[in-house]
């Protein structure tokens, strides 16, 4: 069902609560990747251009005790947001109380305020993360309408999304959340075919429900990365020292049976004797992996097999790297697949489901070659599983 967006409501003169995902990586107080800030700008700019009074808030990192506060303050993020918007963002260094209430009450049309890390409320009983009713009601009392634009937290019911939505009349999606709903949700509901899904990463156990759901929808499910070796073992091959979930071998057999030829694993791998960037690289057929070697990337012939499916696709969804892309020697599979997907952008809808695959694409400088790169790792994974995400469900239907 279609969800209301910020464009569906009148916000002039209203105090607009905007939940963003500014959980950005920081080092020594400096932001090392500001992509999540940039992605939230269209929504914030729209609100202030329409004369709304923007109250922006987010979580950052894990905060379990007082000592965690110093390294997880949103003050540097507020400063960077000010630079992007070309206007002062008033930063309020608390999550509740008179100082915050006075600051919100004093906002004028077109102004922006950001308050401190919502996770600071987790120090005393996980109030934010556990969707404390009183906290959600309090934050809701600060505004007139609620805009949820934080897809990265949409898979969790927290006080700062579901809690607020439960206590306001109007909850709408921001432009970023709308994009995620349209691209991931819309693609799963009605993909243009052929639809090729590519799954990588370390463990089958992390992707069981994704594989099960995509086998119902996709025309081909390509599997690489560490998780492939559990499938190779299920097919009767020895995998040497490769990553293996022995307790999931029977499940892999079941999935291969259900797939009835839909799963593609390729037929060779790049191996090494150690999990090390400098280990010697060998090419091995999947039935010839020595006992003292481990698979660290998909092999050259497998890359060509994967590319042959991708080139003819009209829809591609990719979640998880196909090898240890952090080691240059073993990045070839992930990089080749990324380049191939980027090459069909004009003829297909191409989506990256966040997490390590998004990091890989950015590392390779290919981020502009995709229709959509999701900002949520865990959220996009659960969306691909076909689950209802609380942070989306709480948005008003049109």
* Alpha-carbon torsion (360, 185, 259, 349), positive or negative: negative
CA separation for the pair 96, 117 (Å, rounded): 11
Half-sphere exposure of 239 (CA within 13 A, CB side): 22
What per-residue string of b and e applies to 130-153 under the rule 16 or more CB within 10 Å gives b?
Answer: bbbeebbebbbebbbbbbbbbbbb
Of the residues 61, 185, 378, 386, only one is catalytic, namely 378
Of the residues 45, 203, 273, 311, only one is catalytic, namely 203
Judge whether 36 counts as a catalytic residue.
yes
Contact 297, 333 (CB under 8 A): yes
C-alpha torsion angle, residues 312, 198, 391, 188 (rounded to 10)? 40
Judge whether 335 counts as a catalytic residue.
no
CA separation for the pair 259, 221 (Å, rounded): 9
Those residues whose C-beta lies under 8 Å from the C-beta of residue 32, and which sit 6 or more positions away, are: 24, 25, 26
Judge whether 203 counts as a catalytic residue.
yes
What per-residue string of b and e applies to 231-243 under the rule 16 or more CB within 10 Å gives b?
Answer: bbbbeebebbbbb
Contact 239, 196 (CB under 8 A): no
The pairing of beta strand 263-264 with beta strand 220-223: parallel
Question: What pairs with residue 217 in β-bridges?
Answer: none
CA separation for the pair 309, 312 (Å, rounded): 6
* Alpha-carbon torsion (124, 129, 130, 136), positive or negative: positive
Backbone angles phi, psi at 296, to 5 degrees: -125, -5
Judge whether 174 counts as a catalytic residue.
no
Residue 393 token pair? 């469900």
Burial (CB < 10 A; 0-12, 13-18, 19+), residue 10, is exposed
Of the residues 355, 369, 376, 377, only one is catalytic, namely 355
Of the residues 3, 19, 36, 233, only one is catalytic, namely 36
The residues annotated as belonging to the active site are 36, 203, 355, 378
């Amino acid at each position: 069902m279609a969800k209301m967006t910020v464009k569906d409501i009148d916000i002039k003169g209203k105090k607009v609560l905007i939940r963003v995902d500014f959980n950005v990586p920081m080092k020594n107080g400096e932001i090392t990747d500001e992509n999540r800030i940039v992605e939230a700008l269209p929504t914030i700019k729209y609100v202030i251009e329409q004369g709304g009074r923007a109250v922006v808030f987010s979580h950052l990192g894990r905060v379990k005790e007082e000592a965690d506060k110093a390294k997880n303050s949103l003050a540097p993020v507020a400063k960077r947001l000010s630079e992007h918007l070309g206007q002062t963002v008033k930063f309020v260094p608390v999550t509740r109380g008179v100082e915050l209430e006075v600051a919100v009450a004093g906002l004028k049309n077109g102004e922006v305020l950001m308050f401190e890390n919502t996770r600071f409320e987790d120090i005393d009983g996980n109030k934010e993360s556990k969707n404390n009713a009183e906290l959600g009601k309090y934050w809701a009392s600060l505004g007139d309408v609620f805009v949820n634009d934080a897809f990265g937290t949409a898979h969790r019911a927290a006080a700062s999304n579901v809690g607020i939505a439960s206590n306001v009349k109007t909850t709408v999606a921001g432009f970023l959340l709308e994009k995620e709903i349209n691209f991931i949700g819309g693609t799963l509901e009605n993909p243009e075919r052929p639809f090729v899904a590519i799954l990588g990463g370390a463990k089958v156990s992390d992707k069981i429900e994704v594989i099960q759901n995509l086998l119902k929808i996709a025309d081909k499910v390509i599997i690489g990365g560490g998780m492939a070796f559990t499938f190779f073992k299920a097919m009767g091959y020895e995998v040497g020292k490769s990553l293996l979930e022995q307790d999931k071998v029977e499940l892999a057999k079941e999935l291969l049976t259900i797939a009835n030829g839909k799963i593609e694993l390729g037929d060779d791998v790049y191996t090494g004797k150690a999990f090390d960037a400098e280990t010697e690289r060998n090419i091995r057929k999947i039935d010839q992996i020595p006992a003292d070697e481990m698979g660290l990337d998909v092999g050259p012939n497998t890359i060509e097999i994967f590319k042959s499916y991708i080139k003819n696709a009209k829809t591609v969804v990719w979640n998880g790297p196909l090898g240890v892309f952090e080691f240059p020697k073993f990045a070839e599979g992930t990089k080749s697949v990324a380049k191939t997907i980027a090459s069909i952008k004009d003829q297909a809808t191409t989506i990256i489901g966040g997490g390590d695959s998004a990091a890989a694409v950015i590392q390779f400088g290919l981020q502009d070659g995709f229709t959509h790169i999701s900002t949520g790792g865990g959220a996009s994974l659960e969306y691909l599983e076909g689950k209802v995400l609380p942070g989306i469900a709480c948005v008003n239907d049109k």
